Amino acid sequence: MSLLENKKATILVVDDDKSNIDLLLNILPHYDLITCLDGQTALKMVQQENIDLILLDVMMPEMDGFEVCSILKVNSDFSNIPVMFLSAKDSIENINKGFDLGAVDYVTKPFNPTELKCRIRTHLQLQNFQKSLEKKNEELDKLNKKIKEVMKKDMEDMFSKCDYLGGEDIDIEQYLNNISVDKE
């Protein structure tokens, strides 16, 4: 289950062999599986559905899995979706290519169902942790901006009440930047 939304994770399975899809449907009943038989359809599905993970075959007609992965990883809307290759292509060159293209994992066929389920669970957990961290960072950024706004108002009020400044104009924004809480 997704840690963030308490729902079944949605996995896109892309393989031109229906028997491989049937096998995955049988061993992954706890996930919401969306299946397609080719790369073009996979790219359309990614645009239409909220995909948590992609299981992608390498060898497919017209557009292979490497090309699909490349297209996904250059698109900022989809680049964070974890891609796991499931392929009979087991050469070191192919495995390295998959990782070089941005895949999070590369599992060779035939695969061990228990191992595949563990890897899927791990990558979904990592994806959820990443989403949670991004959400917390957004919240922190908002909080830092609010703190800075409050500090600016308070500093303006304080400086306006100080007689000893001798009428000097103080750039509050510059002052806050020098003491900023959002500096690293």
| Alpha helices in 51-171, H assignment, sequence order | 65-74, 92-100, 113-161
Q: How many helices (H) and strands (E) does the chain have?
A: 6, 5
Q: Which domains does the chain have, with CATH numbers?
A: 10-135 (3.40.50.2300), 137-179 (no CATH)
- What are the pLDDT digits (tens) for 107-126? 999 999 999 999 999 999 99
Mean pLDDT of the chain: 87
pLDDT recorded at residue 4: 45
CB-based burial label for 67 (10 Å; 0-12, 13-18, 19+): middle
CB-based burial label for 119 (10 Å; 0-12, 13-18, 19+): middle
pLDDT recorded at residue 3: 44
pLDDT recorded at residue 5: 47
Within 10 angstroms of residue 55's Cβ, the number of other Cβ atoms is 26
Mean per-residue pLDDT for 174-179? 65
Within 10 angstroms of residue 43's Cβ, the number of other Cβ atoms is 18
Comparing 54 with 145, the larger pLDDT belongs to 54
Distance CA 139, CA 147 (A): 12
pLDDT above 80 for 157: no
Angle 102-106-109 (CA atoms, 0-180°, nearest 5)?
150
pLDDT above 60 for 154: yes
pLDDT recorded at residue 59: 94
Mean per-residue pLDDT for 75-87? 94
Secondary element (H or E) of residue 174 = helix 172-179
- What are the pLDDT digits (tens) for 25-67? 999 999 999 999 999 999 999 999 999 999 999 999 899 999 9
